[in-house]
């Protein structure tokens, strides 16, 4: 299914008529097909902000590590976190990735949960563990695996796979 992309007119080349409005629209089939200046936000250890509808019905924003494969965004969460239940109750989210060196270079991704895998799944659970270890390497630079499991509980992880509904892009690095 095609992913709609809205390229917002930015101010990288100075003030212009219609700035901050959608300038161009397009489609892509995989996140790998994003313009490289936006794909780098996914490939680099940029902490995303996720908006999830919380238990009170209001948006809940929190920083997360984010990843992707093909046309899917991947999010790995501790199973006991409230976000897991909120995502199960309302599977639509928005991710915001902002270049830490330039706030005028960002991308937002609207997505819907398509699949989730528990680390306890006897068939695919190892994929969840391997993914969080890969994220620790990306975001922390360590090859020793994910070391932040809560020692007071037998922390288990859940890997959410999201279909991408649309992407909005803005600016340049």
Q: Where are the alpha helices (DSSP H) in the chain?
A: 36-43, 82-89, 125-140
pLDDT at 150: 85
pLDDT at 59: 96
Give long-range contacts, CB 8 A cutoff, 24+ apart: 20-26.
Answer: 22/168
pLDDT at 143: 83
- Higher-scoring residue by pLDDT: 151, 65: 65
Looking at every residue in the chain, the average pLDDT score rounds to: 93
- HSE-CB of 80 using CA atoms within 13 angstroms: 7
Residue 58, both tokens: 């209001």
Query: Measuring CA to CA, which residue among 44, 168, 43 is closest to residue 100?
Result: 44
In the chain, where the domains are located: 3-170
- Cα–Cα–Cα angle for 36, 101, 93, rounded to 5 degrees: 65
How far apart are alpha carbons 98 and 104 in whole angstroms?
A: 8
CA distances from 129 to 5, 26, 93, 135 (A): 32, 35, 23, 10
Q: What is the pLDDT of residues 112-143, one digit of tens each?
A: 999 999 999 999 999 999 999 999 999 999 88
pLDDT of 16 higher than 90: no
pLDDT of 81 higher than 90: yes
Segment 22-48 shows an average pLDDT of 91
pLDDT at 134: 95
Pick the CATH number of 3-170 from 3.40.640.10, 1.20.1630.10, 2.30.110.10, 2.160.10.10: 2.30.110.10
Q: What is the pLDDT of residues 39-78, one digit of tens each?
A: 999 999 999 999 999 999 999 999 999 999 999 999 999 9
């Amino acid at each position: 299914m095609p992913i709609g992309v809205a390229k917002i007119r930015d101010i990288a080349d100075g003030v212009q008529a219609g700035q901050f409005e959608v300038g161009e629209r397009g489609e892509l089939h995989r996140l790998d097909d994003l313009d490289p200046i936006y794909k780098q936000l996914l490939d680099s250890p940029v902490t995303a902000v996720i908006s999830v509808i919380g238990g009170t019905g209001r948006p809940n924003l929190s920083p997360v590590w984010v990843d992707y494969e093909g046309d899917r965004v991947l999010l790995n969460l501790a199973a006991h976190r409230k976000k897991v239940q909120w995502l199960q109750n309302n599977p639509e989210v928005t991710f915001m990735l902002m270049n830490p060196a330039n706030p005028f270079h960002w991308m937002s991704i609207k997505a819907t949960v398509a699949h989730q895998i528990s680390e306890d799944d006897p068939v695919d659970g190892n994929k969840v563990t391997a993914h969080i270890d890969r994220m620790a390497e990306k975001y922390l630079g360590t090859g020793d695996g994910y070391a932040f499991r809560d020692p007071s509980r037998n922390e288990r992880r859940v890997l959410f796979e999201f279909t991408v509904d649309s992407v909005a892009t803005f600016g340049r690095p």
